[in-house]
Amino acid sequence: MRREPIGVVGAIVPWNYPQTLAAFKYAPALAAGCTIVMKPSPETVLDAFLLAEAIAAAGIPEGVVSIVPGGRELGAYLVEHRDVDKVAFTGSTAAGRRVAEACGRLLRPVTLELGGKSAAIVLEDADLDLAKIGNDLFAATLVNNGQTCYLGTRVLAPRSRYDEVVDTLAAFASSLAVGNALDPATQIGPMASQTHRDRVEGYVAKGNSDGARLVVGGGRPRDLDRGWFVEPTVFADVDNSATIAQEEIFGPVLSVIAYGDVDDAIRIANDSDYGLGGSVWTTDAERGKDVARRVRTGTIGINKYLPDPGAPFGGVKASGIGRELGPGAISAYQQLKSIYT
């Protein structure tokens, strides 16, 4: 049996972590012996040119890594090009479905890392001291201004401590430094574009109109007259069937959902089209692991959430197909050949 390079890889990279997510694709592809054609997002073309300059400076032969900027039409062309042997896509679930349909018709291997609406399950024994959990809570729920696919933006709180959880999240959101993303002290910067800010504000308006209780945030920072900012926002009294609990907002908006017992929490966590990330907050690590095993998701953390490059990353259900990172990442860019003698 031989493992051979799968061939030419067509990679499509989104705007929220453009260089990190590009590396998720070109690193294992090159290690497997493939060549790769990458299409960056139209919103992040300049840094793609910097990558191209670095590739040239490193002496990588021409044609091994190609970077081709363009929009949706170019992405569709790349996905269906006859000389592409595999597609690696990170982006929205809606776009991922179109990529999957094309690859299915062409019988072309594909890796899809798509959207998420992860649950952060707060158990009854959780420590809610922000001095202890604040940094980990931020990383698990609002990092990168909420523009991260795996974030636990559905916070599931036990009814016995519901008000306490809401108050803690309100204090947490209110404490975050909002401002210039180039300032090291900033924790919440602007949305990526005016169009995206409009989208996030549309979800905030939908939460209000559907009857959720706006606890904190929901507007634009009064002291910032430039930039596409949205205040860190917390909604309480959210039903899991609500739009803001089911659809990916991709901004700094948290929805707090009440549950009865642990079985109810797991039912709510799994009542989602997505399954990418998640977290369980508890002072009993073994109990946390037991709960984590019952959540239908590709990745989950105990009292934190931070992807590990040494572990597989990817989702189930509408969150994607296949895995990136970890020891198996290279195998996604190889094919097996059996030679009989």
113 carries an active-site annotation:
yes
Q: In this structure, what DSSP letter does residue 8 have?
A: E
Q: Which residues of the chain have pLDDT under 50?
A: none
Catalytic residue among 149, 201, 231, 248: 149
C-alpha 89/C-alpha 102 separation (Å) is 12
Q: Could you tell me which of 241, 167, 234, 242 has the C-alpha nearest to residue 209?
A: 242
Long-range pairs, 218-225, Cβ under 8 A, ≥24: 221/178, 224/178, 224/179
Cα distances (Å, whole numbers) of residue 188 to 181, 182, 221, 297: 7, 11, 11, 27
CB proximity list for 196: less than 8 A, separation 6 or greater: 147, 228, 250, 251
Closest Cα partner for 210 from 237, 236, 242, 234? 242
pLDDT at position 175: 97
**Token reading at 119:** 């649950």
141 vs 253: CA distance, rounded Å: 9
Q: Percent helix, strand, coil in the chain (nearest 5)?
A: 40, 20, 40
Q: How far apart are CA 243 and CA 207, in angstroms?
A: 7
Surface-to-core class of residue 77, CB atoms within 10 Å of its CB (0-12 exposed, 13-18 middle, 19+ buried): middle
- b/e map of 107-138 (b: 16 or more CB within 10 Å)? ebbbbbbbbbbbbbbbbeebebeeeebeebbb
Task: Tell me what pLDDT residue 225 has.
Answer: 87
Interval 113-167: pLDDT, tens? 999 999 999 999 999 999 999 999 999 999 999 999 999 999 999 999 999 999 9
Domains within the chain, CATH numbers bracketed: 2-114+315-337 (3.40.605.10), 119-302 (3.40.309.10)
The partner residues of 88 in beta bridges, in order of sequence, read 11, 111
CB-facing half-sphere around the CA of 215: CA atoms within 13 A: 23
Other residues' Cβ atoms within 10 Å of the Cβ of residue 209: 9
Per the residue annotation, which of 34, 80, 101, 113 is the catalytic one?
A: 113
Indicate the SS3 state at residue 115: coil
pLDDT tens, position by position, 301-328: 999 999 999 999 999 999 999 999 998 9
